[in-house]
């Protein structure tokens, strides 16, 4: 990992939350108010996969990820830093590659994956989650 380009950049990166972000809280609050229960920041139930979902609905086999625009290279809002650009390009590409690998492995294990960008409307996202969970719960 390269050195931070400035003390301010270092502080900014150290303050970044891995889980419990505002978009996650907004979506979780609405989903919970709708009567659905889930695990938060839960380990994925795929053998050999050390990754976590932001919300996990075990009975209906739905994994929800609330992806940050920067960290997951949003096509609308993702940016590329100028300092240490080559390192960051590789890092962000690896994040996207890992996301696709996670999606594939979960699908192979019979799980539905829902990825929501942090900039999406929380109410729309909560409705999308509820619809998917309910559709997979009926059986």
Residue 113 has pLDDT above 60, yes or no: yes
Q: Give the least confident one: 53-67, 81-95, 103-117.
A: 81-95
pTM assigned to the model: 0.85
pLDDT at position 139 is 58
- How far is it, in rounded angstroms, from Cα 8 to Cα 14? 10
Q: Which residues of 10-44 are buried (b: 16+ CB within 10 A; e: fewer)?
A: eeeeeeeeeeeeebbebbbebbeeeebebeeeeeb
pLDDT class for 108, splitting at 50, 70, 90? very high
Tell me how far apart the terminal alpha carbons of the chain are, to the nearest angstrom: 48
Residue 9 has pLDDT above 60, yes or no: no
Query: Domains of the chain, with CATH numbers?
Result: 18-137 (3.40.960.10)
Specify the higher pLDDT residue, 3 or 53.
Answer: 53
pLDDT at position 8 is 67
Percent of the chain with pLDDT over 90: 65
Q: Strand, helix or coil at 43? A: strand
- How far is it, in rounded angstroms, from Cα 124 to Cα 138? 22
């Amino acid at each position: 990992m390269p050195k931070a380009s400035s003390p301010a950049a270092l502080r900014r990166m150290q303050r970044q939350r891995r889980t419990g972000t505002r978009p996650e809280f907004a979506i979780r609050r609405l989903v919970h108010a709708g009567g659905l229960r889930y695990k938060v920041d839960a380990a994925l139930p795929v053998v050999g996969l050390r990754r976590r979902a932001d919300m996990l609905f075990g009975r209906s086999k739905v994994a929800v990820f609330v992806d940050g625009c920067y960290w997951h290279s949003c096509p609308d809002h993702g940016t590329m830093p100028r300092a240490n650009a080559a390192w960051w390009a590789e890092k962000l590409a690896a994040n996207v590659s890992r996301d696709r690998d996670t999606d594939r492995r979960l699908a192979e294990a019979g799980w539905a994956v829902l990825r929501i960008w942090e900039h999406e409307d929380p109410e729309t996202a909560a409705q999308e989650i509820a619809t998917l969970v309910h559709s997979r719960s009926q059986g």
